[in-house]
Amino acid sequence: MTSFFSSVLGRLSVDHPSVALKQLPTAVGFAIGIVLLLTVPGIEVSSETATAVGIALMVLATVLAGVCTRVERFDRLSVIVPIIDIVAIGAFRAGTGGSASIFAALLILPVVWIAAERGRRHIVIAAVGTSIALYMPYILGMRALDNANELVRGLYSPLIFAAAAAIINELARQSRAQLEAIRRLADDKEVILQRTVEFANQLQDSEAQIRAGDRLFRNVWAAVTEQSIIGTDVTGLVDAWNSGAVKLLGVDTESAEGKRHVFEFHIPAELDARSRELNYPPGETVLNPGFSALVESARLGRAESREWTYVRDDGSEVPVLLSVTKRVDDGGVTSGYLFVATDVTQSREVARLKDEFLGLISHELRTPLSSILGYLELLRDDEDNPLSAEQTQFLGVAERNAHRLLRLVGDLLFTAQVESGKFPLDPHTVELGRIVSAAAESARPSANAAGITLVERVPEVSPLVNGDAIRLGQACDNLISNAIKFTPRGGTVTISLNVEGPSAVIRVRDTGIGIPASELNQLYARFFRASTATRNAVPGVGLGLTITKAIVTAHQGELDVESEEGVGTSFSVTLNTVPALDAVH
């Protein structure tokens, strides 16, 4: 029973209460009338039949209200319920004294219900229903309509009820309109919140797409608390300051807008260093040097994201990732700048702890692994206790896995060294052709085993570069082994070396599974693996390209990638060559 009433009364909303809830006041009022009829002396029943009909109709209307609430497809028929109510009240009134009945006031309840429904036609329904109720004694044939007062009452009272119904209908219409407007605003707010979350998660990808439109700027203003958003005019004077800026910098909006300049919250030394780095000619900018250091790239139409140090109002410093975009007016003229900053203190600390952990684990694993490999070698080379063929096979499996684990530990340690800035290099003038040929030759057995054709194209006269031969070989090994892993049997991997102007370019091209275009900008992130790799169950941990990128960058080179899913991938390493004369010297 409890669940029934919960389902009947529980399907409610602010603008659409259930039919049962609408019926409740009329049913309660009618029930009170019955109690009064039975208990209060002086209230007489003039017609038991009419009274019984009224009670039966009220019960029917109440049950129908429950059914309409319970079964949603009947909801549109709910207007029948108050019409039945009016007839029931009219019969009840006719049976309890007619025009002298004290229960005529019950009519106001279903009339209000009908008048509050959508559409002007309900005003007419309310008026006609009221007239029917008042004329009920004559409709039921209980008396003749020979009294002018009764005739006028049956016409005048419905007009008054119709006027009241018109007022209620209009008020209900306005209320629904206001409610719909509020709902639209709530929906807009939900959309804005979703955009804000996406903005926080994809800040680096979306920086170049941000446009400083005042309308969007104001919409997201109140919702953003984890990012500091500061708007300025073309001189750097703050004209917009969100709650995230208050939280990050400790300055309230009233103290910032129109009174402070954005460069006041930066370390002067950083601004000076950036000014020297830009090295723009005098007269190229109308801004002061400190502000120019912040917005010069944005002013020239280039989106920029870089780390700066904010100075809080109490003098403390906080590192931030700052994105600067240009604001333009309707005519396309620069009207100011928008500064979006994210506190990277915690992310820096997490990265530091992660690198320390990787370094510690790598060191702790390398020592026992080296010991294991040493003892495995002793077992294999022990002439006094030679191993059987099966034992030698088992020992080979253990050695291969130990070497594999040792390489993984080395990769982890190497990435930790890169992140900590302790990346070791031993640069010399080296022949790049020899390094490329050695890497190709080392990969040939694994390519043959995988059924892949390995093509090597190296010029007879090898270009010279200044670099660490071991690290450059490691980079080539990573690119070639990756190409082999991601190429199906029967495919081709081509390694080429060319001299293009002052640069030497190593290209590793495969006919493999390719990489989705949306994932190319994530390839060099640690432990990232392309979706094509995971779908095809290609083994790996996602460190090879990270290490290769670090090696190439350390040699002042560039690592580029072109890929098409299902067609293949091409990586190119561009390094500066060293003239032969310089190599001799």
Summarize pLDDT for 423-435 with one digit per residue, the tens.
677 888 999 999 9
Position 454 scores a pLDDT of 92
CB 299 within 8 A of CB 326: yes
- 404 HSE (CA, 13 A, CB side): 9
Residues 365 and 405: their CA atoms lie apart, in Å, by 9
Position 570 scores a pLDDT of 92
pLDDT at 12 over 90: no
| 348-420: in CATH 1.10.357 | no
At residue 179's C-alpha, the angle toward residues 175 and 183, to 5°, is 170
Position 228 scores a pLDDT of 86
Mean pLDDT of 224-234: 84
Dihedral sign, CA of 413, 418, 423, 427? positive
Residues 487 and 94: their CA atoms lie apart, in Å, by 92
Which of 297, 289, 295, 296 is closest to 272 using CA atoms?
289
Fold of 208-343: Beta-Lactamase (3.30.450)
Residues 447 and 237: their CA atoms lie apart, in Å, by 62
Residues 502 and 508: their CA atoms lie apart, in Å, by 20
Mean pLDDT of 465-479: 89
CATH dotted code for 428-584: 3.30.565.10
Tokens of 88: 């029931």
Residues 92 and 90: their CA atoms lie apart, in Å, by 5
Residue 141: pLDDT band (50, 70, 90) is low
Q: What percent of the chain has pLDDT over 70?
A: 76
576 vs 376: which has the higher pLDDT:
576
pLDDT at 76 over 50: yes
CB 211 within 8 A of CB 235: no
Q: 25-46 burial, b for 16+ CB within 10 Å, e for fewer?
A: ebbebbeebbeebeeeeeeeeb
Mean pLDDT of 448-463: 90
Mean pLDDT of 300-321: 84
pLDDT at 264 over 90: no
Position 216 scores a pLDDT of 65
pLDDT at 414 over 80: no
pLDDT at 528 over 80: no
State residue 229 phi and psi, 5-degree precision. Answer: -120, 120
Which of 547, 539, 442, 532 is closest to 485 using CA atoms?
539
Q: Report the length, in residues, of the chain.
A: 585
Residue 583: pLDDT band (50, 70, 90) is very low
Mean pLDDT of 166-188: 79
Tokens of 344: 């990277």
Residue with tokens 């020992």: 395
Q: What is the CA radius of gyration of the chain?
A: 42
Q: How many helices (H) does the chain have, and how many strands (E)? A: 21, 12
Distance set, CA 439 to CA 50, 506, 524 (Å): 105, 12, 21
Which of 75, 114, 121, 92 is closest to 32 using CA atoms?
92
Q: What is the pTM of this model?
A: 0.39
Mean pLDDT of 280-288: 52
Burial environment of residue 436 by CB neighbours within 10 A (0 to 12, 13 to 18, 19 or more):
buried
pLDDT at 9 over 50: no
Position 75 scores a pLDDT of 65
Residue intervals in the chain for CATH 3.30.450.20: 208-343
pLDDT at 333 over 80: yes
CA 45 to chain centre: 69
pLDDT at 436 over 80: yes
Which of 155-164, 332-341, 434-443 has the lowest average pLDDT? 155-164
Tokens of 145: 């309509």
Mean pLDDT of 36-60: 81
Position 416 scores a pLDDT of 63
DSSP 425: -
Residue 573: pLDDT band (50, 70, 90) is very high
DSSP 505: E
Residue 480: pLDDT band (50, 70, 90) is very high
138 vs 543: which has the higher pLDDT:
543
Position 531 scores a pLDDT of 67
pLDDT at 282 over 70: no
Order across the sheet with 317-328: list the strands: 238-241, 227-232, 334-343, 317-328, 304-311
Mean pLDDT of 530-538: 62
DSSP 577: B
Residue intervals in the chain for CATH 1.10.287: 348-420
Position 504 scores a pLDDT of 93
- The identity of residue 166, as a single letter, is A
Q: 542-560 burial, b for 16+ CB within 10 Å, e for fewer?
A: bbbbbbbbbbbebbebebe
Which of 81-95, 416-430, 474-488 has the lowest average pLDDT? 416-430
Residues whose CB falls within 8 Å of the CB of residue 516, separated by 6 or more in sequence, listed in order: 530, 531, 532, 565
CB 510 within 8 A of CB 492: yes
Mean pLDDT of 508-516: 88
Position 148 scores a pLDDT of 59
Burial environment of residue 406 by CB neighbours within 10 A (0 to 12, 13 to 18, 19 or more):
middle
Mean pLDDT of 168-196: 80
169 vs 287: which has the higher pLDDT:
169
Q: Kindly state the greatest CA–CA separation across the chain.
A: 135
497: which strand partners?
506
- Strand duo 453-457 + 492-500: pairing: parallel
Mean pLDDT of 522-537: 66
pLDDT at 575 over 90: yes
Residue intervals in the chain for CATH 3.30.565.10: 428-584
Distance set, CA 394 to CA 226, 375, 389 (Å): 56, 14, 9
- Looking at every residue in the chain, the average pLDDT score rounds to 77
pLDDT at 210 over 70: no
Which of 48-52, 214-218, 259-263 has the lowest average pLDDT? 214-218
Position 218 scores a pLDDT of 62
